[in-house]
Structure 1
Amino acid sequence: MTSGRVCRRSVLTLAAGLPLAALSVGRAAGGATSVRYTMSAFTNSSETDLYVYESTDATAFQLLRGSAYRPPSGVMRDPSIFRNVDGDYYLAYTASGDGQIIGFARSSDRVTWTHLFDFTVPMLGVEACWAPEWFVDVDGRISIIVSLTNGRRFTPYLMTATDASMRSWSVLTPMAGLAPPNPFDTAAIGYIDTTVVAHGGKYFAFTKNETTKYIELAVALNAAGPYVFVATGNWAGWGTPREGQSLIQLPGGGWRIYFDAYTEDKYFYSDSHDGFRTWTAPRELPGLSGTIRHVTVFPENLPESET
């Protein structure tokens, strides 16, 4: 950020970007399935309205509803969605440019949304609360990764829902290893827009280095860390500045990352087929590059009856 009833338990797994028989597109228990990709975004023209798009191939996205949701107050930036086991879709978003508020909304169809509540981060000294990102762990725990700053540097924090309504949350835990190691280094601004996927028994955090503006990669054995950076700088050939990244697994086992080249007014995607080691040259997202900002792409395996 610049400054279901779920028919299958597998949807929770997909929300976390976890492999599930490589998405197993084709015949499955209960009949044929297909993959639907839902994109949530705000746009260059509006930071108060949610735009929802969908795709069957993770590349060509069509508008499902423009201005699908506008909060009762504040902004609606950095929207992140997932589908819960109750069958409904949940939205979390940055609700104020400077402040301690995360906004929440709910929808049964991704088209009509209802504001649920605003959550004030219970931490003294927080001056900005950016880019809340849903994360569903392998055991089904629902969490949010959010970037907090005290005005000097950003640090990603993990907070976990402690009740089904998601109105009660655990104490915020800093994601160890994803902060400048020296708190007196005024040149190190920290990390924002962190998204995490679990793969091969490890947790991979793709996070924007707010000093260099590169998207970097860190790995841990637990969602909260400690993380160790394994790829920094222009390691993937994506360039800088880049932000607003969203990562999904593709049918067949590959991975795709989407990211915002905000100073170029473009949105790109890039694929990896070797466990995040190498990536294809970035390609512009057709039809939407230059329009959308800070997207989340949510894939779900749907039975034929829901398509």
Structure 2
Amino acid sequence: MQLKPIFTIFMSLFSLLGFAQQDSIYLFSYFKGNGEDGLHLAASIDGMKWQAVREGSAFLRPELSPDKLMRDPCIIRGGDGNFHMVWTVSWTQKGIGYASSPDLIHWSEQQYIPVMEYEENARNSWAPEITYDPETEEYMIYWASTVTGEFPETQIEADDAYNHRMYFTKTKDFKTYSETMLLYDPGFNSIDATILNHMGKWTMVIKDETREPVQKNLKLAYALELDGPYSEASQPITGDYWAEGPTVLLKDGYFYVYFDRYTDHHFGVIRSKDLQHWEDLTEQLEMPEGIRHGSIFRVSAQEYQNLK
């Protein structure tokens, strides 16, 4: 039986059992191509078999920056119950995009946040993510930037001489933002961080972007506070392939890490209960054609039905 009938049957069962108001459906925000057509969503019940919503059509078209791109869309449900999204607007702009929605259908005006405009030597603002801290009721937005002349110890000419580190700003209302600060310098060219609270501490999954000698893998770091300081990076948790764009799902006691095996042109997923021993489930993973990385979050069965 194909995925679509199975998904429809499960959705009917969810409604009959009264689960419509629970976070019972996983959604995956993603982009396709260069991000020129905007936000896409995929849905799953088990986190392993994903189906494009609305047959892969875009939910929101990019309007910001001369490039008008919507790459690396990261969506979370905030403390106010609304969905908040940040994304990469351009390969060369010094800011990022932001929009919010109560239902993933009707979106606010797209806002350009000039996170690195203060820095004359900044080259980019890539792969932003957003994490909500319920204790402080603050949102931390973080991204990777290369600032020419900074961190010369890891500067090389490969990969167009990009030499990223992670930076952050905080906000409570998406109107005023704290001063941009350095979030994490692990001692290597790093990008694509994603952070969530797990087992009582903040856990960061981050890509080691080192080209010489080649790394291009995912590692972990930990902190007691969302804005750090973070520990030294762990040994790689991914294998002998290039991985980027991680997103994390906590499910049934497991820590699932999904990532884009971009040189192999497909996604991968690994899981662990203790963040030490990892199981590769990539062969069981089914993803929509053309999917590029974004983030995983949960919605109710009723919210999913409204999207359709």
| Residues 50 and 79 in structure 1, CA contact (< 8 A), matched pair in contact too | yes
CA distance in 2, matches of 1:85, 1:222: 18
Percent identity between the two aligned chains: 27
Q: Which amino acid aligns with 2:129?
A: E
Give 2:180's aligned amino acid.
L
CA offsets 1:98-132 (integer angstroms, 9 cap, x no match): 12121112223223434331111143121100011
From 171, 180, 203, give the equivalent of 1:172.
180
Compare the two structures and name the one with the higher strand fraction: 1
Alpha-carbon spacing, 1:148–1:306, altered in 2? closer, same or farther (3 Å): closer
Unaligned runs of 5+ in 1: 1-24, 181-187
CA contact (8 A) 1:157 1:173 kept: yes
Question: What is the correspondence of 1:267-306 to structure 2 with a 5 Å cutoff?
Answer: 267-273=267-273, 275-284=274-283, 285-288=285-288, 291-300=290-299, 302=300
Secondary structure of residue in 2 paired with 1:205: strand
Q: Does residue 1:130 correspond to 2:126, yes or no?
A: yes
Contact 2:25 2:301 in 1 (8 A): no
Match of 1:56 in 2: 45
**Contact 1:130–1:147 (CA under 8 A) maintained in structure 2:** yes
Q: What are the Cα deviations for residues 65-97 of structure 1, in whole angstroms up to 9, with x where unaligned?
A: 421111124211000011234433221100011
Please tell me whether residue 99 in structure 1 is matched to residue 93 in structure 2. Answer: yes
For residues 76 and 304 of structure 1, what CA distance do their matches in structure 2 show? 27
Greater RCO, 1 or 2 (C-alpha within 8 Å, sep 6+): 1
Give the letter for the 1:67 counterpart: A
After superposition, what is the alpha-carbon deviation per residue over 1:224-261, rounded to whole angstroms, capped at 9, x for unaligned?
2222235223xx343331000001211x2211111000
Q: Match of 1:219?
A: 222
d(CA) in 1 for partners of 2:71, 2:301: 32
Structure 1 residue 269: deviation in Å?
Answer: 1.3
Match of 1:71 among 36, 52, 62: 62
Q: What does 1:125-274 correspond to in 2, within 5 Å? A: 125-139=121-135, 140-151=137-148, 152-162=162-172, 164=173, 166-176=174-184, 178-180=185-187, 188=188, 190-211=189-210, 212-233=215-236, 236-250=237-251, 252-273=252-273
TM-score (normalizing by structure 1): 0.77
Tell me the distance in 2 between the aligned counterparts of 1:223 and 1:118.
Answer: 24
The structure number with the bigger radius of gyration is 2
Contact 1:173 1:224 in 2 (8 A): no
C-alpha deviation, 1:280, in angstroms: 0.9
| Distance in 2, Cα, partners of 1:63 & 1:44 | 15
Q: Distance in 2 between matches of 1:304 and 1:48?
A: 26
- In structure 2, distance between residues paired with 1:34 and 1:246: 18
Q: What's the RMSD between the two structures over aligned residues? A: 2.6
SS of the residue corresponding to residue 293 of structure 1 reads coil
